[in-house]
Amino acid sequence: MNRSQVRKVLDTIAEMFPDAHCELRHENPFELTIAVLLSAQCTDETVNKVTADLFQKYKKPEDYLAVPLEELEQDIRRIGLFRNKAKNIQALCALLLDKFGGEVPREHEQLVELPGVGRKTANVVMSNAFGVPAIAVDTHVERVSKRLGLAGADDSVLEVEKKLMKQVPRDEWTDTHHRLIFFGRYHCKAQNPRCEACPLLELCREGKKRMKPARTRKTVPKAAKSAEAEIQ
């Protein structure tokens, strides 16, 4: 994809979703870190329902360590993989207290040391909590990037991130991250993408393939009608 095509993608998704933002509700870096950890293989909507009560009960790392693991598991049981996530939350809180003075670190290298925090979570925390430009590649960002040709179909998540960082101006990394998520979540969905109404269809390899059968089907009734007329 050349520069002008990349620019068109960025400008188009900016027009479509000018107010794209992190939809995980939080009031501080610590709550955001917990919310992103919980969001793995789970929708933001479900996470927000759970954290509405969770963040009332647990305000700081010490609170999560003051209850038995089984109690924390019950508090987040509506979240997928809740047992493993409960263990990670308590381990994360213990490390925050032991190594970082109870505060979420600002450095990427330190963030990924935390249990349950991978590269994506660290990028989300850095960009949304601390204002550091970053591109976090979740399932939506990966899918959209590959469909539009911003990344290769067989690229790993890390390769997708590196290609986006290279093509997108640094001061647009965070906004682009949110806009790609909104584009993938509300328009270019995994199962039923809105290809017929997509302003980026001409750049989308998969979209063109999806639309071809539709065009073919539309021509079949006309052909059948003509053949029927000839017989008559």
| Span 29-86, pLDDT tens digits | 999 999 999 998 899 999 999 999 999 999 999 999 999 999 999 999 999 899 999 9
Stretch 105-124: mean pLDDT? 94
Helix (H, G, I), strand (E, B) or coil at 51: helix
Per CATH, the number for 1-193 is: 1.10.340.30
Residue 112: per-residue pLDDT? 94
Residue 120 known to be catalytic: yes
| Span 116-137, pLDDT tens digits | 999 999 999 999 999 999 999 9
The rounded distance, in Å, linking the Cα atoms of 54 and 48 is 9
Candidates 120, 146, 163, 175; catalytic one: 120
Residue 138 known to be catalytic: yes
Candidates 138, 146, 163, 175; catalytic one: 138
| Span 190-231, pLDDT tens digits | 998 999 999 999 988 888 888 876 544 444 454 444 433 333
Global pTM?
0.85
The rounded distance, in Å, linking the Cα atoms of 57 and 71 is 12
* Residue 139: Cβ-neighbour burial (10 angstroms; 0-12, 13-18, 19+): middle
